[in-house]
Amino acid sequence: MSKSAFKPGNMLYPLPAVMVSCQYKDGADPECKNPALQGKPNIITVAWAGTVCTNPPMLSISVRPERYSYHMIEQSGEFVVNLTTEALVLATDYCGVRSGRDVDKFKEMHLTPLPSREVFVPGIAESPVNIECRVRKILPLGSHNLILADVVAVTIDYAYMDESGKFHLNDTGLVTYSHGEYFLLGKKLGSFGYSVAKKTAKPAGKSANQGKKGIASSGRTTNRGKKSAKITNKKGNATRR
């Protein structure tokens, strides 16, 4: 196996590409020079985001202090993490390369502000999951500041709930970011714990009816392999461009 040394850097990929919505709490925006954008919510695309604690539920995002949205989050102490999908990938990229100082990203990407339940900052209605966050601590690290936040509410798209109450998040078309490129989640390789799960298959034995024509062996159901729960999968969330 041939390997080569590479410069130290951030090579931890893939990562979730999320759109973080934010807004000044009092409506005043000292950095905004455009009256039409004054007081409007903004969206920043963040690839450096992650789960940090289960109980209490917490997550983190890392943002450069010079970014326009950073001061909104710092001043208000609240933000919403919106998961991204294939239908939102164009908006995800746009919100990462254009500044809220110049454009209304909700308007330009035809995104719908979604009223939140526990924070004043709106989420993005077209996202399948909206995670409402309240800042707990900001840690200056260098090029980026790490923002630790408590998750205070979560909203999901009910279209991906099945009849048993299970939320099929992986059917929403989630997008990841890896080394400068966006990818759609691909083939499922296994479920958590499958590597140590006990095998329940029993050795095949001869049936008393084996070989008799027209008689089924072992009582196999004709619905084998079919899903027992019906999912109403909404694929119509495509960004209107």
The number of beta carbons lying within 10 Å of the beta carbon of residue 128 is 26
The residue segments making up the domain with residue 129 are 15-184
Question: Does the pLDDT at position 235 exceed 80?
Answer: no
Residue 178 lies in a domain: yes
Is residue 214 scored above 60 in pLDDT? no
Residue 107 maps to which CATH number?
Answer: 2.30.110.10
- pLDDT tens digits, one per residue of 167-213: 999 999 999 999 999 999 999 999 999 999 866 545 555 444 444 44
Q: Give buried/exposed letters for 133-151 (b at 16+ CB in 10 A, else e).
A: bbbeebeeeeebbbbbbbb
Asked if residue 230 is part of any domain, the answer here is no
pTM to 2 decimal places? 0.80
Q: Say if 25 falls within a structural domain.
A: yes
Overall domain count for the chain: 1
Please give the pLDDT value at position 223. 39
Asked whether residue 132 is domain-assigned, the answer is yes
* Mean pLDDT of all residues in 121-146: 98
Q: Is residue 68 part of a domain?
A: yes
pLDDT score for 26: 80
Contacts of 6 (CB under 8 A, 6+ apart): none
Residue 219 lies in a domain: no
Q: Which of 21-30, 41-50, 95-104, 161-170 has the lowest mean pLDDT?
A: 21-30
Q: Does residue 203 form part of some domain?
A: no
For 146: left if phi > 0, alpha if psi spans -120 to 50, otherwise beta; the answer is beta
226 within some domain: no
